[in-house]
Amino acid sequence: MAVSKQKKVEIFNELVEKFKSAESIGFSSTNALSVDDFAKLRASLREVGSTYTLAKKTIIVKAIKEARDIEINLSDLEGQIWVVCSNEDAVAGLGKVNDFMKAINKDADKMEWALSIFEGELKDKEETKVIASMPSRETLLGRLVGSMKSPISGMARFFDAAAKELESTGKEKAGELEGKKEETSEEEAK
């Protein structure tokens, strides 16, 4: 179905706005996915504040030039070009698409990365795969909080165990427990 010139202008303007506000932009090529697959992918991308859009290669190239002043070449790519724009976390949207690719490419290569724009720089296919496999900002922050909380949790467990031991022995001070342990060890030595 032919797209009218007015519709192409609307798509172009929409892409320019998406590209300007995106933290990162990934391009993938495909020609063998179902509508249901794309619906599932789009739903998972909404969870992380990302979008997935299909457009003609020439419109994408012109929109990237307009929005980011970066020249890309998509003419040698086969199939349809899909664009993922990560708006909140630069890696999260790319990661969701990467996970989706791994799931659907088990039998055959239905979808693959073409290139991306990350931190204002054009990245090739291999660099895009590496970036897309990195954990999201949210995951990294969770890991950081967990590692910071671990020593505090250990100390809390220690104090809780010491308090229970004080209660079970009827002592009021930890120093009284140490004296008991020394007496016990002296008695065991005899």
Give the per-residue SS3 of 92-157: HHHHHHHHHHHHHCCCCCCEEEEEEEECCEEECHHHHHHHHCCCCHHHHHHHHHHHHHHHHHHHHH
Contact criterion met (CB below 8 Å) for 94 and 132: yes
- Highest mean pLDDT pick, 90-99, 129-138, 153-162: 90-99
134-154 average pLDDT score: 77
Whole-number pLDDT of residue 106: 73
pLDDT tens, position by position, 35-81: 888 888 889 999 999 998 888 899 999 999 999 999 998 888 888 88
| Lateral strand order in the sheet of 80-86 | 50-55, 80-86, 24-30, 111-118, 121-123
Cα–Cα–Cα angle for 100, 106, 111, rounded to 5 degrees: 50
Q: How confident is the model at residue 18 (pLDDT cuts 50, 70, 90)?
A: very high
* pLDDT at position 154 over 90: no
Whole-prediction pTM: 0.69
- The sign of the dihedral angle between the CA atoms of 91, 46, 60, 34 is positive
- Highest mean pLDDT pick, 26-40, 44-58, 139-153, 169-183: 44-58
Whole-number pLDDT of residue 133: 84
CA dihedral 6, 31, 124, 73 (to 10 degrees): -40
